[in-house]
């Protein structure tokens, strides 16, 4: 899979959505029936339904927010898009590539910043990014790697070992890893959890710039003021179902909340509220 680190935003333009989910459900398997230990005599439990008939699309160039309380299914949905988890039913596509049938192309179209910090302690920051570039068939990617490092305030850490970085610095590297192949679609799963004001600012400046250049962004966050400021459209998930989907101004206007946090709290606590539209 050879390729160039530089992709023109014009290439992202397509009549098809950047992300599309059609009736996606996910039931996590129950405890294995084959277990022969002390739990084996207990009746088998049913699986856990983490997503229940989720459908929406994200158009190219959108900055889209996916919000919901802990356990709502946000990371599950992202894992399905990234091909890390299989949907139990329904279809998911990235840039019109099916996440199962066209896994390589769909994965290549995505940069995912995972919620959990995972890293290899044996490499430096630059080595980590070069290895990641290699996964996408990119050689001689150092110009772009340097640009990403500098935009994320990591330039002076390029030769530091991953183990020696603070938690917030490691999270910056996760963001850099997701961007290393200049993916048309960027998914950020709570990228600002536990990071300082500096990174929030530099991160949002950089991601907003990439969005203006044509990259599609899907963001999950519990910082609702971030979502309100950045996202043009927002979906809210509750117990695996979409309970609101609209433009940010329309959500604010329809529920009449002072800010997105008010709207969110009201929607999450009002069982009868149906906010799905645009």
Ligand X SMILES: Nc1ncnc2c1ncn2[C@@H]1O[C@H](COP(=O)(O)OP(=O)(O)OP(=O)(O)O)[C@@H](O)[C@H]1O
Of the candidate spans 71-79, 87-95, 96-104, 128-136, the one that interacts with ligand X by CB under 6 A turns out to be 71-79
Cα separations (Å) of 204 from 19, 144, 210, 254?
A: 21, 18, 10, 27
The reply to whether 70 sits near ligand X by the rule CB under 6 A is yes
**Per-residue x/- marks for Mg ion, 64-83, CB under 5 A?**
----------xx--------
Q: Does 2 bind ligand X (CB under 6 A)?
A: no
Using the rule CB under 5 A, is 115 a contact of Mg ion?
Answer: yes
Spatial distance between the Cα atoms of 101 and 79, rounded to a whole number of angstroms: 16
Q: Using the structure block, give the residue that is written with the tokens 């290895």.
A: 131
Q: Least distance (Å) from ligand X to the CB of residue 10?
A: 33
Q: Shortest approach of ligand X to residue 72 CB, angstroms? A: 4
* Between 240 and 275, CB nearer to ligand X: 240
Query: In whole angstroms, what is the distance from residue 208 CA to residue 15 CA?
Result: 23
Residue 71 as a binder of ligand X (CB under 6 A): the answer is yes
Identified binder of ligand X from the candidate list 68, 83, 183, 191, rule CB under 6 A = 68
254, 108 in Cβ contact below 8 A? no
What's the closest the beta carbon of residue 74 comes to Mg ion, in angstroms?
5
CA dihedral 38, 40, 43, 45 (to 10 degrees): 100
Using an 8 Å Cβ cutoff, are 59 and 134 in contact? Answer: no
Structure tokens at 240: 């695996």
Query: Three-state SS for 148?
Result: helix
Stretch that binds ligand X, among 37-45, 70-78, 131-139, 164-172 (CB under 6 A): 70-78
Interface with ligand X by CB under 6 A: which residues? 28, 48, 50, 68, 70-76, 115
């Amino acid at each position: 899979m050879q390729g160039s680190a530089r992709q023109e935003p014009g290439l992202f333009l397509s009549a098809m959505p950047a992300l599309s989910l059609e009736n996606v459900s996910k039931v996590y398997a129950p405890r294995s029936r084959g277990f022969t230990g002390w739990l084996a005599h207990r009746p088998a439990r049913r699986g856990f339904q983490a997503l229940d008939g989720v459908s929406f699309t994200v158009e190219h160039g959108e900055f889209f927010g996916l919000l919901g309380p802990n356990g709502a299914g946000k990371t599950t949905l992202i894992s399905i898009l990234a091909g890390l988890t299989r949907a139990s039913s329904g279809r998911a596509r990235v840039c019109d590539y099916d996440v199962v049938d066209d896994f390589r192309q769909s994965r290549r179209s995505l940069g995912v910043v995972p919620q959990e910090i995972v890293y290899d302690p044996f490499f430096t920051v630059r080595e980590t990014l070069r290895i990641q570039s290699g996964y996408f068939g990119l050689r001689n990617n150092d110009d772009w790697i340097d640009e990403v490092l500098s935009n994320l305030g990591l330039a002076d850490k390029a030769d530091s070992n991953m183990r020696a970085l603070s938690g917030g610095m490691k999270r910056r590297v996760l963001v850099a890893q997701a961007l290393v192949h200049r993916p048309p679609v960027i998914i950020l799963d709570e990228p600002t959890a536990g990071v300082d004001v500096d990174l929030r600012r530099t991160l949002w400046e950089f991601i907003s710039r990439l969005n203006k250049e044509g990259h599609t962004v899907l963001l999950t966050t519990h910082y609702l003021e971030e979502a309100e400021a950045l996202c043009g459209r927002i979906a809210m998930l509750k117990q695996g179902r979409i309970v609101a989907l609209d433009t940010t101004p329309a959500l604010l206007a329809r529920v009449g909340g002072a800010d997105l946090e008010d709207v969110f709290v009201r929607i999450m606590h009002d069982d009868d509220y149906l906010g799905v539209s645009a």
